[in-house]
């Protein structure tokens, strides 16, 4: 039996049918989206899966088949998102609503950015003020999905 830092025993439970019925296992892809200079989505392998409660997904109006997990690379979205954060992306939500965070593809590179509609263009914003915003015609940006959750590893 494993023990925690206080010496108490920790039970290790194997997944069971009830566990599977209660949770959805979502893929964390072995690739990163840039919060900085851009990343190429070229290694679309599943690294691991993370479990999310089915009832939470339902309450949030999310559908498991449309969700993927990605890892953030860079600091341009700090303080909201930090380097190495894990983000949950709803691939079914691609309609740009101002000031929400999306995963986008521009010129073949993937970014996680805050978007703001600006006429026929989209203003691409970083939360880190050290990065300047950019403006692109909406046809130049492929919205891959909206970020609906993030997780952070404590250092």
Residues designated as active site: 76, 113
Residue whose entry in the numeric block shows the structure tokens 């070229």: 42
What value, to the nearest 5°, has the Cα angle with vertex 114 and ends 96 and 137? 55
Dihedral (CA of 35, 78, 98, 50) sign: positive
Cβ atoms of 32 and 39 within 8 Å: the answer is yes
In angstroms, the CA 110 to CA 115 distance is 14
Q: Give Cβ neighbours of residue 139 (< 8 Å, ≥ 6 apart).
A: none
Give, as one character, the DSSP assignment of residue 30.
E
Length of the chain measured in residues: 155
């Amino acid at each position: 039996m494993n023990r925690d830092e206080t010496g108490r025993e920790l039970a290790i439970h194997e997944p069971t049918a009830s566990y599977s019925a209660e949770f959805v296992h979502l893929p964390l892809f072995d690739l990163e989206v840039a919060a900085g200079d851009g990343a190429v989505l070229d290694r679309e392998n599943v690294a691991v899966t993370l479990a999310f409660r089915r009832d939470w997904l339902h309450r949030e109006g999310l559908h498991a088949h449309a969700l993927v997990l990605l890892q953030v690379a860079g600091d341009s979205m700090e303080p909201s998102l930090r380097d190495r954060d894990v983000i949950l992306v709803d691939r079914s939500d691609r309609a740009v609503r101002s000031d929400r965070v999306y995963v986008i593809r521009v010129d073949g590179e993937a970014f996680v950015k805050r978007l703001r509609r600006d006429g026929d263009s989209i203003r691409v914003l970083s939360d880190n003020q050290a990065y300047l915003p950019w403006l692109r015609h909406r046809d130049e940006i492929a919205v891959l999905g909206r970020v609906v959750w993030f997780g952070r590893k404590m250092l």
